[in-house]
Amino acid sequence: MRRVQPDVWETEVEHPFPGLSTHAYLLVREAGNVLFYNTGHRHELERMAELGGVVYQFLSHRDELGESLNVIHERFGATLGGHRAEREDFARVREPELLFERRGLLLEGIEAIPVPGHSPGSTCFLVTSPHGRRYLFTGDTLYRGEGGLWHAGFIPGHSTAEDRRELIESLGLLKPLQPDVIFSSAFAGESGYQTLAPGEWPGLVERALAELRDPGRESGI
């Protein structure tokens, strides 16, 4: 693991499919550490243990499911959280103890923001860090592509017209936010997170929206 923010650690990269990479991120908190997304690297659990373990694990959507959820739970007793719309998908691997379906606080300083479109239960997590920054964990609703450009998680040939409509609404919901750092789940290229310059966020979202509105420009995962 490597430290990428004062209170955020990034797991070693994984490559579930050619051209696609993923990380999980451990948020270190006095009230109990939170793991966002998922990792299959068992050796990373040793470093997590040194950092205080995992009290909660929040998935942004069902694509992050895997047997490693049970490994992490057995090691740390972590409470698993996910969106109610995908409970049946979760239950095939592990029944989630914490379900959410509306925007609201999950823990102090951690807000769940449902953003359907990439999947029915896709959710972003907005974290207000005591270190003075706001982190947005975007899952695959917004992912970092080649060259550092951010795209909406619309999959040509798989996603539907209704998915496109929902994604447009979801990005509209995210646009007023002012995160300082954004972390995607899957990504292409060299990195899945980015520190934003002041005022950069709205333009980043608007560019992704423009791709959605013009199917000839989209680039999906």
Predicted confidence (pLDDT) per residue in 24-44, tens digit: 999 999 999 999 999 999 999
Domain count, the chain: 1
**Residue 72 maps to which CATH number?**
3.60.15.10
User: Residue range 95-117: average pLDDT?
Assistant: 96
Which residues contact residue 139 at a Cβ distance below 8 angstroms, ignoring those fewer than 6 apart?
Answer: 37, 60, 61, 64, 115, 118, 122, 123, 124, 153, 184, 185
- Per-residue 3-state assignment (H helix, E strand, C coil) for 52-103: CCCCEEECCCHHHCCCHHHHHHHHHCCEEEEEHHHHHHHHCCCCCCEEECCC
* pLDDT value for 221: 62
Say yes or no to pLDDT of 166 above 80. Answer: yes
Upper half-sphere CA count for residue 197 (Cβ side, 13 Å): 3
Q: What's the domain range around 151?
A: 2-217
* pLDDT value for 42: 93
Of 149, 32, 42, the residue nearest 79 (C-alpha): 32
Task: Quote the pTM value.
Answer: 0.94
User: Residue range 50-77: average pLDDT?
Assistant: 96
